[in-house]
A and B are shown apart, each in its own frame.
Chain A
Amino acid sequence: MSALFSFHGGLKTTRHKTESNQQPILVNPLPPQLTVPLRQHIGAIAKPLVQVGDRVLKGQMIAQADGYISAAVHAPSSGVVTAMELRPVPHPSGLSDECIVIETDGEERWIERQPLDYRQLHPSEVRGALRSAGVVGLGGAVFPSAVKLNLEGQGGQLDTLILNGAECEPWISCDDRIMRERADEIVAGLHIMVHLLQPREVLIGIEDDKVEAIAAMREACAGTNYQVRAIPTLYPSGSVKQLIKLLTGKEIPVDGLPADIGVQCFNVATAQTVHRAIDLGEPVLSRVVTVTGHVARPANVEVLLGTPFSALIAFCGGYRDGVERLIMGGPMMGFALYDDEVPVTKATNCILAAGAGIGELTPEQPQMPCIRCGACVEACPANLLPQQLYWHARAKEFDKAQDYHLFSCIECGCCSYVCPSHIPLVQFYRYAKNEIWAQEKEKQKAELARQRHQARLDRLEREQKERDAKLRQKAPRQAASTAVTPEADKLPIEAAVARAKPHRIAAPADASPASVAADDDRSEPNS
């Protein structure tokens, strides 16, 4: 089965890859200070293991994974921890997050590296090592790889393991260069993934405009049964759903995961870090970043995590005149940053200094009414009706937006790109999704309150029954005994209290669930 499948929609965008992909990966010099965020992955924030003033070695774990879906963070170079505080991080919100700041000493002194022979280890030990090494998806989603490398999560059998070398966004070329220069490392990482997942087949998808990368990967895969497939250069071919469809013809079900259809997908750069983590004992300390657009010398640069964007830009010769927007990621899905004083993280695949230029930044266009032309329908890779989604999102008819499968939207931006009315469609969908999530949370809160209230009523009723039962047990004894004891004296009182109780309980039942929940938190004087 070598035939390729296709997906609906998609775009032929301008490419702009040659600005950055014509020279080998450069290495950014060691910066004097590294600001390492504790949240560089999806999941729980890592728990710090160091304190201000501690000396750290290169590769030393400075924060550990907290829970199953989490990843460790390491000192990218040797030096001294000078601060642990909130610092600006690259995030669309522009908000700050917990960071460990390291003053580098320039010595690059490593911890003792312990290469592992994964063939001798239990898969769970390999996964543990990957989690400790901070291995996450480097395609931009930064999901902890160890979680995805658990065969039990795939129902014990995996059909297809896919390596994603599509790199469909314009401008970005870091994966292209990694595949050209480090194909052997990628394949070495792939061996480990195969060992853990035991897939029936291994496919490597690369867009067909990356001729050199395809050749390099084919060469590195020689002698294995890994198949390198050239896929059409059509955005968003690198999106997990679309890539899996292209390579296998399977569609990830709505609300499903790749594992549901027996597929697992990793970025090529992730495979390289898997290799380094296991075979060399080197945790994830750096990544390759494409620096391109309006900079003097666009390039792919190997950068220590925590390096400020500004230092990286300076290394690439600084901004050219006319930079209007600083984008992390590509121009289709990347987000704009408020400031370049933010650190490179595991998610930073590209820094695009965008100025007015073809394919770089489109000047803002006035928004016109939707004329329902359907250009968005033709472009949508999720096969949605973006114009209807827009209509309902705009009218705040969120239930109807969900009827039109709002949550199948992958926010690839194809609809906005082709819209002749220049409507920021994706923004409307994000807004609608956020509103729905907020409503869901409210609903869950109310439901929880309702459940607690019901539980309380049940408990009181149960206690009441128990008391009644006790009372009935005692009553015949009382009738039998003619002597009046102080204990028997008390019984009518108890019975009266018990009779009064349901009324007291009934009262708050009419109140709102929230107030009842609050009431429930107080101690119950009568019980």
Chain B
Amino acid sequence: MRFKTATSPHILLETSVGQIMRRVLYAMLPGMAALTWFFGWGVLINLVIATVVALAAEALMLAARGKALALHLSDNSALVTAWLLAVALPPLAPWWLTTLGVLFAIVIAKHLYGGLGYNPFNPAMVGYVVLLISFPREMSTWLVPHGVGQVHALGLSNTLTIIFGNGQHLMPDGLTGATSLDVLRTQLGLGRSVTEIRNSPVFGIVAGRGWEWATLGFLVGGLWLVYTRAADWRIPAGMLGGLATIATVFYLIDPQHYAAPWFHVCSGAAIFGAFFIATDPVTASTTPRGRLIYGAGIGILVYIIRAFGGYPDGVAFSVLLMNIAAPTIDLYTQPQVFGARRG
């Protein structure tokens, strides 16, 4: 009897790129639910716009590159990019802003750099930074969270009108405002102490009101990602460890001028970035030790940008900067192979 042959191994684990990416999407749900509660319909509308644009752009680029459409669309990587970017955008960002960012991320940062597995920079963060630099006003118009402002008064249809049309007149007064990191930054610039600033209503228990709950949601999802091994624990551990360490150092030097390490870890995009953005394996370092260093580098850069740079938060810039460093880190952090150590 004759048989077909193939090379070993003949059995494989039931896993796929699509499954890993799907897990990332699932893991974002709790954090997104919290964001939606505190910042309204805009969060979900951004998500829908980003999803539709990303899938369309991905399909177009795959077709242009002659790739199997169904196979590569089902790897869910475009969806992850879209969601990461959507979460990072202000909830009432105009539709064209979201569209532009996603298009840039998928078409240029992902596919023109070689597509899945080959792009050196995190596509979502490239899209985000392009928007941040090109449209600073739109990108910094954040809403004040529910409980401080009247986000819930803004219904679905009004939100849609604001996002898709010229609905500025629909915006109730005091709906937009600075984030906690913004407040910290500007007030510190005015010479106020951290303790004084912390009394502002935008601050909650440990960090920004509303934000801290979203952060908790992302932490839960992120830990689940680590548990299921969809993300390597070393990257978030390195990043949060790096951020906390440098924040502690400055906090100990002058607690009235530098915010506490727990504030930094729980604020802005630190947790979200550590578990969902920095962990993008394609653009991160790929050696075990390298991932710790890569993460720590991001954490330290985030602090430097927050404390001394020109932006209130710096996850996107830090991730992109460390993306550049990843190949070099990999080169110098190769594990010792079996038998390299004598005895």
Are B337 and A334 neighbours in the complex by a CB distance under 8 Å? no
The answer to whether B12 and A251 touch across the interface, beta carbons within 8 angstroms, is no
Pair B342/A253 contact, Cβ less than 8 Å: yes
Q: Does B11 contact A (CB under 8 A)?
A: yes
Q: Is A234 an interface residue (CB 8 A)?
A: no
Q: How far is the CB of A120 from chain B (nearest CB, A)?
A: 38
Interface: B168 (CB within 8 A): no
Query: Binary interface profile of B, 2-25, with partner A (CB < 8 Å = 1, else 0)?
Result: 111111111111111101100000
Decide if B337 touches A417 in the complex (CB within 8 Å): no
Asked if residues A374 and B3 are in contact (CB atoms below 8 Å), the reply is no
Interface residue? B64 (CB, 8 A):
no
Instruction: Check if A333 is an interface residue, CB within 8 A of chain B.
Output: yes
Given A241-B339, A337-B3, A373-B20, A426-B10 contact (CB < 8 Å): no
Query: Known contacts A250-B343, A340-B1, A340-B3: does B17 contact A420 (CB below 8 Å)?
Result: yes
Given A254-B337, A336-B6, A366-B71, A420 contacting B15 (CB threshold 8 A): yes
CB distance from A244 to the nearest CB of B (A): 10
Residue contact A377 to B3, C-beta cutoff 8 Å: no
Closest residue of B by beta carbon distance from A94: B5
**Stretch in contact with the other chain, from B46-54, B84-92, B188-196, B279-287:** B279-287
What's the Cα separation between A424 and B9 when bound, in Å? 8
Question: Distance in Å from the Cβ of A15 to the closest Cβ of chain B?
Answer: 12
Q: Which residues of B contact A362 (CB under 8 A)?
A: 10-12, 14
- Whether, in the assembled complex, A230 has its beta carbon less than 8 Å from a beta carbon of chain B, the answer is no
Using CB atoms, name the residue of chain A closest to B16.
A420
The one of B19, B335, B341 in contact with A420, judged by C-beta atoms closer than 8 angstroms, is B19
**Is the beta-carbon distance between A418 and B15 smaller than 8 angstroms?**
yes
Is there an interface contact between A417 and B1, defined as CB atoms closer than 8 Å? no
In the complex the two chains form, what is the Cα distance from A146 to B12 in whole Å?
A: 37
A374 to B283, CA, bound (A): 12
Q: Which residue of A lies closest to B71 (CB)?
A: A366
Q: In the complex, A283→B279 CA distance in Å?
A: 59
Q: Which residues of B contact A13 (CB under 8 A)?
A: 11
> Are the C-beta atoms of B288 and A374 separated by less than 8 Å?
yes
B117 at the interface (CB under 8 A from A): yes
CA distance A405 to B9 in the complex (A): 21
A444 to chain B, nearest CB (A): 25
**Given A241-B338, A368-B17, A369-B118, are A385 and B287 neighbors across the interface (CB < 8 Å)?**
yes
- Which label, helix, strand, loop or mixed, suits the secondary structure of the B interface? loop
Alpha-carbon distance A327/B6, docked complex (angstroms): 10
For B16, the chain A residues whose CB sits under 8 A away are: 365, 368, 420-422
A404 within 8 A of B: yes
A332→B13 CA distance, assembly (Å): 11
Q: A388-B330, A420-B19 are in contact. Are A8 and B10 (CB under 8 A)?
A: no
Choice from B9, B287, B330 contacting A331 with Cβ under 8 Å? B9
Inter-chain contact B8/A339, CB cutoff 8 Å: no
Q: Could you tell me the distance in whole angstroms from the C-beta of A358 to the nearest C-beta in chain B? A: 9
Alpha-carbon separation in the docked complex, A324 to B1 (Å): 11
CB of A252 closer than 8 Å to a CB of B: yes
Within the complex, which residue of A253, A332, A369, A426 is in contact with B115, where a contact is CB–CB below 8 Å?
A369
- A336 and B337 form a contact (CB under 8 A): no
- Complex CA distance for A94 and B291, rounded to whole angstroms: 44
Cβ-closest chain A residue relative to B279: A373
Give the docked Cα–Cα distance between A13 and B11 (Å). Answer: 9
In the complex, per-residue mask of B245-256: 1 if CB is within 8 Å of any chain A CB, else 0: 000000000000
What would be 27 A-B contacts, judged by CB atoms less than 8 Å apart? A94-B5, A251-B341, A254-B339, A319-B1, A323-B3, A325-B3, A327-B10, A332-B8, A338-B2, A340-B1, A361-B11, A362-B11, A362-B14, A364-B6, A366-B71, A372-B117, A374-B232, A377-B335, A378-B229, A381-B338, A383-B337, A384-B335, A411-B8, A413-B9, A420-B15, A420-B19, A421-B17
Given contacts A368-B75, A371-B17, A371-B20, 6 further A-B contacts (CB under 8 A): A366-B71, A371-B117, A372-B282, A374-B291, A416-B8, A419-B12
